[in-house]
Amino acid sequence: MKNELNSRLIMLIRQTLSDKINVAAYLMDLLSLGREAVYRRIRGDVSFDLEELALISKDLNISIDEVLGINDAKSLFSIDMIHPESYLNQYCDFLSYYIDIFEKMSAYPDSEVIAANNQLPFTYYLSHEKLSKFYLYKWMYQTQTSKLNVPFSEFVLPQKVIDLNKQYAAASNFACHTTSILSHDIFNSFFNTVSFFRRLGLLTQEDVDQIKEEILSLLDHLEARSISGVWHNTYEFNLYISMIDFDTSYTYMRCPEFELSMIRAFSINVVRSSMPAICSAHKKWIESLKRYSTQISKSGDIYRTEFFNRQRQLAKEIL
Protein backbone atom coordinates (compact mmCIF):
# COMPACT_ATOMS: atom_id res chain seq x y z
CA MET A 1 0.00 0.00 0.00
CA LYS A 2 2.86 2.35 0.91
CA ASN A 3 4.64 1.79 -2.42
CA GLU A 4 1.35 2.15 -4.28
CA LEU A 5 0.67 5.58 -2.76
CA ASN A 6 4.23 6.74 -3.41
CA SER A 7 4.05 5.52 -7.01
CA ARG A 8 0.73 7.24 -7.58
CA LEU A 9 2.04 10.49 -6.12
CA ILE A 10 5.19 10.40 -8.29
CA MET A 11 3.04 9.67 -11.35
CA LEU A 12 0.82 12.69 -10.60
CA ILE A 13 3.86 14.91 -10.05
CA ARG A 14 5.30 13.84 -13.43
CA GLN A 15 1.96 14.50 -15.15
CA THR A 16 1.71 17.97 -13.60
CA LEU A 17 5.27 19.21 -13.98
CA SER A 18 6.66 20.41 -17.27
CA ASP A 19 8.85 17.88 -19.09
CA LYS A 20 11.70 20.35 -18.69
CA ILE A 21 11.63 20.10 -14.88
CA ASN A 22 13.47 17.27 -13.16
CA VAL A 23 11.22 15.63 -10.54
CA ALA A 24 14.05 14.95 -8.07
CA ALA A 25 15.39 18.53 -8.33
CA TYR A 26 11.85 19.89 -7.89
CA LEU A 27 11.26 17.81 -4.73
CA MET A 28 14.66 18.69 -3.28
CA ASP A 29 13.86 22.38 -3.62
CA LEU A 30 10.24 22.19 -2.44
CA LEU A 31 10.77 19.84 0.52
CA SER A 32 14.27 21.07 1.49
CA LEU A 33 15.59 17.51 1.33
CA GLY A 34 18.90 16.11 0.16
CA ARG A 35 19.29 14.18 -3.08
CA GLU A 36 19.45 10.73 -1.45
CA ALA A 37 16.44 11.43 0.77
CA VAL A 38 14.41 12.41 -2.29
CA TYR A 39 15.48 9.36 -4.29
CA ARG A 40 14.53 7.07 -1.39
CA ARG A 41 11.02 8.52 -1.64
CA ILE A 42 10.93 8.22 -5.44
CA ARG A 43 12.01 4.56 -5.21
CA GLY A 44 9.42 3.89 -2.51
CA ASP A 45 11.99 2.96 0.17
CA VAL A 46 10.60 5.79 2.35
CA SER A 47 7.06 7.17 2.32
CA PHE A 48 6.26 10.84 1.88
CA ASP A 49 4.94 12.07 5.22
CA LEU A 50 1.68 14.03 5.61
CA GLU A 51 3.41 17.43 5.70
CA GLU A 52 5.35 16.64 2.50
CA LEU A 53 2.18 15.42 0.80
CA ALA A 54 0.39 18.63 1.79
CA LEU A 55 3.23 20.80 0.43
CA ILE A 56 3.26 18.94 -2.90
CA SER A 57 -0.53 18.98 -3.15
CA LYS A 58 -0.71 22.73 -2.51
CA ASP A 59 2.18 23.65 -4.81
CA LEU A 60 1.02 21.55 -7.78
CA ASN A 61 -2.70 21.73 -7.04
CA ILE A 62 -2.91 17.93 -6.90
CA SER A 63 -5.95 16.53 -5.14
CA ILE A 64 -5.06 14.33 -2.17
CA ASP A 65 -8.06 12.22 -3.18
CA GLU A 66 -6.23 11.46 -6.43
CA VAL A 67 -3.16 10.31 -4.49
CA LEU A 68 -5.32 8.08 -2.30
CA GLY A 69 -7.16 6.72 -5.33
CA ILE A 70 -10.55 7.96 -4.18
CA ASN A 71 -12.90 8.15 -7.15
CA ASP A 72 -16.02 9.23 -5.31
CA ALA A 73 -18.21 11.55 -7.40
CA LYS A 74 -17.89 14.11 -4.61
CA SER A 75 -14.27 14.60 -5.69
CA LEU A 76 -14.95 15.28 -9.36
CA PHE A 77 -14.73 19.05 -8.96
CA SER A 78 -12.39 21.49 -7.27
CA ILE A 79 -13.18 25.13 -6.62
CA ASP A 80 -10.75 28.03 -6.63
CA MET A 81 -12.69 29.77 -3.87
CA ILE A 82 -11.37 33.19 -2.87
CA HIS A 83 -12.31 34.15 0.68
CA PRO A 84 -12.83 37.79 1.71
CA GLU A 85 -10.46 37.71 4.69
CA SER A 86 -7.41 36.76 2.56
CA TYR A 87 -8.63 37.50 -0.92
CA LEU A 88 -5.51 39.19 -2.34
CA ASN A 89 -3.15 36.32 -1.46
CA GLN A 90 -5.64 33.74 -2.74
CA TYR A 91 -6.26 35.78 -5.87
CA CYS A 92 -2.51 35.81 -6.54
CA ASP A 93 -2.37 32.02 -6.05
CA PHE A 94 -5.28 31.67 -8.47
CA LEU A 95 -3.50 33.74 -11.13
CA SER A 96 -0.20 31.91 -10.63
CA TYR A 97 -1.90 28.53 -11.08
CA TYR A 98 -3.45 29.51 -14.41
CA ILE A 99 -0.28 31.25 -15.62
CA ASP A 100 1.46 27.88 -15.17
CA ILE A 101 -1.38 26.17 -17.07
CA PHE A 102 -1.03 28.54 -20.03
CA GLU A 103 2.75 28.18 -20.03
CA LYS A 104 2.38 24.41 -20.30
CA MET A 105 -0.12 24.82 -23.13
CA SER A 106 2.24 27.11 -25.03
CA ALA A 107 4.62 24.17 -25.58
CA TYR A 108 2.08 22.53 -27.90
CA PRO A 109 1.00 24.21 -31.17
CA ASP A 110 -2.43 22.53 -31.16
CA SER A 111 -3.47 23.65 -27.66
CA GLU A 112 -6.93 25.20 -27.56
CA VAL A 113 -9.37 27.08 -25.37
CA ILE A 114 -13.06 27.33 -26.14
CA ALA A 115 -15.30 29.44 -23.94
CA ALA A 116 -18.80 30.82 -23.63
CA ASN A 117 -18.93 33.95 -21.49
CA ASN A 118 -21.71 36.01 -19.95
CA GLN A 119 -19.15 38.33 -18.35
CA LEU A 120 -15.85 39.58 -19.69
CA PRO A 121 -13.21 36.82 -19.73
CA PHE A 122 -10.12 37.32 -17.58
CA THR A 123 -8.02 37.09 -20.76
CA TYR A 124 -9.76 40.15 -22.20
CA TYR A 125 -9.47 42.60 -19.35
CA LEU A 126 -6.58 41.67 -17.03
CA SER A 127 -4.08 43.65 -19.12
CA HIS A 128 -6.16 46.78 -18.42
CA GLU A 129 -5.37 48.16 -14.99
CA LYS A 130 -8.65 50.00 -14.26
CA LEU A 131 -10.85 47.19 -15.58
CA SER A 132 -9.08 44.48 -13.57
CA LYS A 133 -9.18 46.71 -10.49
CA PHE A 134 -12.91 47.32 -10.97
CA TYR A 135 -13.75 43.60 -11.09
CA LEU A 136 -11.93 43.03 -7.80
CA TYR A 137 -13.55 46.13 -6.33
CA LYS A 138 -17.02 44.93 -7.34
CA TRP A 139 -16.32 41.53 -5.78
CA MET A 140 -15.10 43.18 -2.57
CA TYR A 141 -18.22 45.35 -2.43
CA GLN A 142 -20.43 42.25 -2.59
CA THR A 143 -18.47 40.17 -0.05
CA GLN A 144 -16.90 42.57 2.44
CA THR A 145 -19.77 44.34 4.15
CA SER A 146 -17.42 46.17 6.53
CA LYS A 147 -15.86 48.09 3.62
CA LEU A 148 -18.94 49.12 1.69
CA ASN A 149 -18.10 52.81 1.71
CA VAL A 150 -14.53 52.60 0.41
CA PRO A 151 -14.44 54.67 -2.80
CA PHE A 152 -12.91 53.12 -5.89
CA SER A 153 -10.14 55.74 -5.85
CA GLU A 154 -9.05 54.56 -2.36
CA PHE A 155 -9.06 50.89 -3.30
CA VAL A 156 -5.36 50.29 -4.00
CA LEU A 157 -4.03 47.05 -5.45
CA PRO A 158 -0.52 45.90 -4.48
CA GLN A 159 2.01 45.95 -7.31
CA LYS A 160 2.25 42.16 -7.10
CA VAL A 161 -1.43 41.86 -8.08
CA ILE A 162 -1.04 44.32 -10.96
CA ASP A 163 2.01 42.44 -12.24
CA LEU A 164 0.29 39.04 -12.01
CA ASN A 165 -2.77 40.39 -13.84
CA LYS A 166 -0.54 41.38 -16.73
CA GLN A 167 1.42 38.11 -16.61
CA TYR A 168 -1.86 36.17 -16.84
CA ALA A 169 -2.99 38.24 -19.83
CA ALA A 170 0.37 37.76 -21.57
CA ALA A 171 0.52 34.03 -20.86
CA SER A 172 -3.03 33.44 -22.13
CA ASN A 173 -2.40 35.45 -25.28
CA PHE A 174 0.57 33.34 -26.38
CA ALA A 175 -0.65 29.88 -25.42
CA CYS A 176 -3.35 28.46 -27.66
CA HIS A 177 -5.98 28.66 -30.36
CA THR A 178 -9.04 30.42 -28.98
CA THR A 179 -12.76 30.20 -29.65
CA SER A 180 -14.84 32.75 -27.75
CA ILE A 181 -18.64 32.87 -27.63
CA LEU A 182 -19.91 36.07 -26.02
CA SER A 183 -23.38 36.77 -24.71
CA HIS A 184 -24.96 39.48 -26.88
CA ASP A 185 -25.36 41.87 -23.91
CA ILE A 186 -22.02 41.18 -22.21
CA PHE A 187 -20.74 44.75 -22.60
CA ASN A 188 -24.09 46.38 -21.86
CA SER A 189 -24.23 44.50 -18.57
CA PHE A 190 -20.75 45.74 -17.67
CA PHE A 191 -21.63 49.35 -18.56
CA ASN A 192 -24.73 49.21 -16.36
CA THR A 193 -22.68 47.85 -13.46
CA VAL A 194 -20.20 50.73 -13.73
CA SER A 195 -23.10 53.19 -13.92
CA PHE A 196 -24.62 51.64 -10.78
CA PHE A 197 -21.43 52.24 -8.78
CA ARG A 198 -21.25 55.81 -10.06
CA ARG A 199 -24.82 56.43 -8.83
CA LEU A 200 -23.80 55.05 -5.44
CA GLY A 201 -21.13 57.74 -5.29
CA LEU A 202 -18.31 55.17 -5.16
CA LEU A 203 -16.95 56.06 -8.62
CA THR A 204 -16.06 59.60 -9.63
CA GLN A 205 -16.58 60.83 -13.18
CA GLU A 206 -12.82 60.66 -13.61
CA ASP A 207 -12.91 56.98 -12.57
CA VAL A 208 -15.69 56.30 -15.06
CA ASP A 209 -13.84 58.12 -17.84
CA GLN A 210 -10.72 56.02 -17.23
CA ILE A 211 -12.74 52.80 -17.25
CA LYS A 212 -14.49 53.92 -20.44
CA GLU A 213 -11.16 54.67 -22.09
CA GLU A 214 -9.92 51.16 -21.30
CA ILE A 215 -13.13 49.44 -22.44
CA LEU A 216 -12.98 51.33 -25.76
CA SER A 217 -9.36 50.23 -26.14
CA LEU A 218 -10.43 46.64 -25.40
CA LEU A 219 -13.16 46.87 -28.07
CA ASP A 220 -10.66 48.18 -30.65
CA HIS A 221 -8.26 45.35 -29.87
CA LEU A 222 -10.99 42.71 -29.97
CA GLU A 223 -12.35 44.02 -33.26
CA ALA A 224 -8.89 43.93 -34.84
CA ARG A 225 -8.41 40.34 -33.71
CA SER A 226 -11.80 39.31 -35.03
CA ILE A 227 -11.07 40.88 -38.43
CA SER A 228 -7.75 39.04 -38.75
CA GLY A 229 -8.92 35.81 -37.15
CA VAL A 230 -5.57 35.64 -35.36
CA TRP A 231 -5.19 35.69 -31.57
CA HIS A 232 -1.42 36.12 -31.46
CA ASN A 233 1.31 34.91 -33.80
CA THR A 234 -0.14 31.84 -35.53
CA TYR A 235 -2.89 31.11 -33.01
CA GLU A 236 -6.37 31.12 -34.54
CA PHE A 237 -9.13 33.28 -33.06
CA ASN A 238 -12.81 32.54 -33.59
CA LEU A 239 -15.33 34.99 -32.15
CA TYR A 240 -19.07 34.36 -31.92
CA ILE A 241 -21.89 36.52 -30.59
CA SER A 242 -24.72 34.54 -29.04
CA MET A 243 -28.35 35.49 -29.49
CA ILE A 244 -29.29 33.91 -26.15
CA ASP A 245 -28.16 34.55 -22.58
CA PHE A 246 -25.94 32.15 -20.63
CA ASP A 247 -26.53 31.29 -16.99
CA THR A 248 -22.77 31.53 -16.33
CA SER A 249 -19.39 31.41 -18.10
CA TYR A 250 -17.88 28.13 -19.30
CA THR A 251 -14.33 27.35 -20.43
CA TYR A 252 -12.70 24.21 -21.82
CA MET A 253 -8.89 23.95 -22.13
CA ARG A 254 -6.94 21.21 -23.89
CA CYS A 255 -3.37 20.27 -24.71
CA PRO A 256 -1.65 16.86 -25.01
CA GLU A 257 -0.85 16.92 -21.27
CA PHE A 258 -4.34 17.54 -19.91
CA GLU A 259 -7.95 18.63 -20.33
CA LEU A 260 -9.60 21.09 -17.98
CA SER A 261 -13.17 22.33 -17.75
CA MET A 262 -14.10 25.42 -15.75
CA ILE A 263 -17.27 27.16 -14.67
CA ARG A 264 -17.00 30.71 -13.40
CA ALA A 265 -18.78 31.25 -10.08
CA PHE A 266 -19.35 34.21 -7.78
CA SER A 267 -17.69 36.66 -10.20
CA ILE A 268 -13.99 35.75 -9.80
CA ASN A 269 -14.14 32.17 -8.46
CA VAL A 270 -13.78 29.09 -10.66
CA VAL A 271 -15.13 25.54 -10.35
CA ARG A 272 -12.94 23.15 -12.34
CA SER A 273 -12.61 19.48 -13.23
CA SER A 274 -10.10 17.40 -15.18
CA MET A 275 -12.27 14.26 -15.32
CA PRO A 276 -12.40 13.12 -18.99
CA ALA A 277 -16.16 12.48 -19.00
CA ILE A 278 -16.90 15.90 -17.53
CA CYS A 279 -14.47 17.66 -19.89
CA SER A 280 -16.05 15.92 -22.89
CA ALA A 281 -19.58 16.89 -21.84
CA HIS A 282 -18.42 20.41 -21.04
CA LYS A 283 -16.83 20.85 -24.48
CA LYS A 284 -19.94 19.53 -26.25
CA TRP A 285 -22.12 21.97 -24.31
CA ILE A 286 -20.00 24.97 -25.27
CA GLU A 287 -19.84 23.83 -28.91
CA SER A 288 -23.64 23.45 -28.96
CA LEU A 289 -24.02 27.15 -28.15
CA LYS A 290 -22.66 27.99 -31.62
CA ARG A 291 -26.09 27.01 -32.94
CA TYR A 292 -27.49 30.16 -31.32
CA SER A 293 -24.55 32.35 -32.32
CA THR A 294 -23.18 34.35 -35.24
CA GLN A 295 -19.49 34.13 -36.13
CA ILE A 296 -17.96 37.57 -36.61
CA SER A 297 -14.29 36.62 -36.99
CA LYS A 298 -12.94 36.44 -40.56
CA SER A 299 -16.52 36.77 -41.85
CA GLY A 300 -19.82 38.50 -41.09
CA ASP A 301 -18.29 41.91 -41.81
CA ILE A 302 -21.55 43.85 -41.61
CA TYR A 303 -22.73 42.22 -38.38
CA ARG A 304 -19.25 42.58 -36.82
CA THR A 305 -19.09 46.28 -37.66
CA GLU A 306 -22.59 46.86 -36.32
CA PHE A 307 -21.84 44.94 -33.12
CA PHE A 308 -18.67 46.84 -32.22
CA ASN A 309 -20.09 50.22 -33.18
CA ARG A 310 -23.13 49.47 -31.01
CA GLN A 311 -20.90 48.66 -28.00
CA ARG A 312 -18.98 51.91 -28.45
CA GLN A 313 -22.22 53.85 -28.67
CA LEU A 314 -23.57 52.17 -25.51
CA ALA A 315 -20.33 53.00 -23.67
CA LYS A 316 -20.74 56.67 -24.57
CA GLU A 317 -24.45 56.74 -23.70
CA ILE A 318 -24.28 54.86 -20.37
CA LEU A 319 -20.88 55.97 -19.14
Q: CA 165, 167, 168 angle in degrees (round to 5)?
A: 65
Asked whether residue 143 falls in the same domain as residue 227, the answer is yes
Asked whether residue 55 falls in the same domain as residue 97, the answer is no
CATH number at residue 195: 3.30.870
Of 56, 73, 90, the residue that ends a domain is 73
- Walk across the sheet containing 258-265 and list its strands: 78-80, 269-273, 258-265, 250-255, 112-117, 177-183, 237-242, 293-295
Q: What's the DSSP call for residue 200?
A: T
Asked whether residue 66 falls in the same domain as residue 85, the answer is no
Q: What is the mean pLDDT of residues 118-125?
A: 89
Asked whether residue 300 falls in the same domain as residue 258, the answer is yes
Q: Are 230 and 237 in contact (CB under 8 A)?
A: yes
Asked whether residue 277 falls in the same domain as residue 176, the answer is yes
84 pLDDT higher than 80: no
What is the C-alpha separation between 15 and 3, in angstroms, rounded?
A: 18
Asked whether residue 40 falls in the same domain as residue 169, the answer is no
What's the total number of domains in the chain?
2
pLDDT for 79 equals 54
| pLDDT tens for each residue of 199-238 | 999 999 999 999 999 999 999 999 999 999 888 778 899 9
What residue numbers bound the domain in which 239 lies?
78-318
The torsion defined by the Cα of 217, 289, 79 and 58, in degrees rounded to 10, comes to -70
Of 73, 106, 131, the residue that ends a domain is 73
46 pLDDT higher than 80: no
CATH number at residue 40: 1.10.260
Asked whether residue 26 falls in the same domain as residue 175, the answer is no
Of 42, 73, 104, the residue that ends a domain is 73
201: left (phi over 0), alpha (psi -120 to 50) or beta: left
Asked whether residue 133 falls in the same domain as residue 239, the answer is yes
